[in-house]
């Protein structure tokens, strides 16, 4: 779990393409049914129901992946059911974090992992409830030297979730996430050189840095036992920077000035949903309606940096970069409605008889009405 091994985490989800670009799970790369897995760009990627990717539509790459130790479950919704979460072809991918524990003031969890090539993974979490306030938070640190020269990395990731139950019907919460990592990128090999010795590295001046900051304020109000309304106000302030000799692999690095590509992302949005469960005859049904307002702003700049060796992410001419300087505003307004019609009567005895006479379900599969749900 310390390395976020995507092949194991998503092994029971059919139709996924998985691309591993590093050995420590720094970036998740999955795609559904023929779509590119590059940085999970074809999924609307979320954490606890709110956006965490660089930009929902214009630049949907996801550079941030929560640690597997912090996850309660992962939701993958594809097909027509995913339309209420956005327009990405792959569907919706939602990381659901552990919730604060109840009936205990304090709990501390620590996981320390060591591995080959200098790998160290440290995950430390606290959780508890005091009166009407409950909390969950963690700090993760990972580092490693990589399996070939010039491929070291270091990651720091922190998360805090605080809930306040104002009444039996009303609850508020705030979530804060901070993640940053620095990775050296070896590269520089042609196909022939890779076949000769895949462990060699011909470039030592290439670096990649990510800084990801997320915030979400959410509230839930139970109008009745059948109806509740959920509101999430979320924001992202993030950046990604790549530095080095970014020319094709068949070009030698003679120590000239390096290229710097810098992107910044400042987004905020609001989603409000109402869920109503009702009966129609002997069947259970559910109606979800809601609205979304989203504003994103992305800047992308490319120019020359110094000819040094280290991670010096500074333009030589910051006021007038040489290659490109673009600004991309993005506005998204949407409303949606979806109704689920029950396929089994709501009678408990009828459900029991159906499950008793049905064939046993595979491990990890549950029967919910006529829908088969797969949990990871």
Q: pLDDT in tens for each of the 376 residues of the chain?
A: 888 888 888 988 888 999 888 878 888 999 988 889 989 999 999 999 999 999 988 889 999 999 999 999 999 998 888 888 887 888 999 999 999 999 899 999 999 999 999 999 999 999 999 999 999 999 999 999 998 999 999 999 999 999 999 999 999 999 999 999 999 998 888 999 999 999 999 899 999 999 999 999 999 999 999 999 999 999 999 999 999 998 888 888 888 999 999 999 999 999 999 999 998 888 889 999 999 999 999 999 999 999 999 999 999 999 989 999 999 999 999 999 999 888 655 544 444 443 443 444 444 433 333 333 333 3
Cα–Cα distances (Å) from 195 to 19, 52, 83, 188, in that order, read: 20, 38, 44, 13
In angstroms, the CA 202 to CA 194 distance is 11
In words, the CATH class of domain 100-340 is mainly beta
Confidence (pTM): 0.86
Please, what is the Cα angle at 56 between 234 and 62, to 5 degrees? 90
The SS3 assignment for 255 reads: coil
In angstroms, the CA 376 to CA 234 distance is 26
211 near 238, Cβ under 8 Å?
yes
The SS3 assignment for 356 reads: helix
91 near 78, Cβ under 8 Å?
yes
């Amino acid at each position: 779990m310390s390395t976020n091994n995507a092949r194991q985490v998503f092994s029971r989800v059919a139709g996924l393409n998985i691309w591993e670009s590093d050995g420590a799970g720094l970036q998740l790369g999955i795609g559904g049914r023929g779509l590119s897995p590059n940085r999970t760009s074809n999924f609307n990627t979320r954490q606890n129901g709110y956006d965490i990717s660089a930009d929902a539509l214009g630049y949907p790459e996801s550079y941030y992946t929560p640690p597997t130790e912090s996850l309660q479950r992962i939701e993958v919704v594809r097909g027509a059911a995913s339309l209420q979460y956005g327009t990405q072809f792959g569907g919706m991918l939602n990381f659901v974090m552990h919730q604060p524990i109840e009936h205990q003031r304090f709990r501390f969890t620590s996981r320390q992992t060591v591995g080959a090539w200098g790998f160290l993974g440290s995950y430390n979490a606290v959780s508890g409830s005091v009166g009407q306030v409950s909390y969950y938070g963690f700090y993760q640190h990972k580092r490693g030297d990589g399996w070939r020269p010039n491929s070291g990395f270091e990651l720091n990731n922190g998360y805090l979730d605080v809930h306040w139950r104002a009444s039996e019907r009303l609850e508020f919460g705030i979530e804060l996430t901070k993640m940053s990592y620095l990775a050296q990128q070896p590269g520089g090999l042609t196909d022939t050189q890779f076949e000769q010795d895949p462990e060699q590295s011909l470039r030592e001046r290439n670096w990649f840095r990510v800084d990801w900051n997320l915030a979400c304020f959410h509230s839930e109000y139970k109008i009745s036992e059948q109806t509740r309304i959920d509101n999430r106000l979320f924001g992202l302030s993030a950046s990604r920077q790549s530095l080095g000799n970014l020319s094709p692999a068949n070009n030698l690095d003679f120590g000239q000035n390096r290229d710097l590509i810098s992107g910044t992302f400042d987004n905020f949005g609001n989603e409000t949903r109402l869920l109503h469960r009702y009966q129609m005859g002997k069947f259970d049904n559910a109606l979800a309606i809601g609205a979304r307002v989203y504003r994103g702003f992305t800047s992308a700049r490319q120019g020359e940096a110094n000819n040094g060796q280290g991670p010096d992410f500074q333009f030589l001419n910051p006021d007038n970069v040489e290659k490109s300087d673009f600004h991309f505003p993005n506005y998204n307004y949407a409303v949606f409605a979806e109704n689920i019609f029950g396929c089994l009567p709501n009678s408990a005895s009828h459900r029991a008889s159906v499950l008793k006479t049905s064939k046993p379900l595979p491990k990890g599969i549950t029967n919910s009405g006529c829908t088969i749900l797969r949990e990871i």
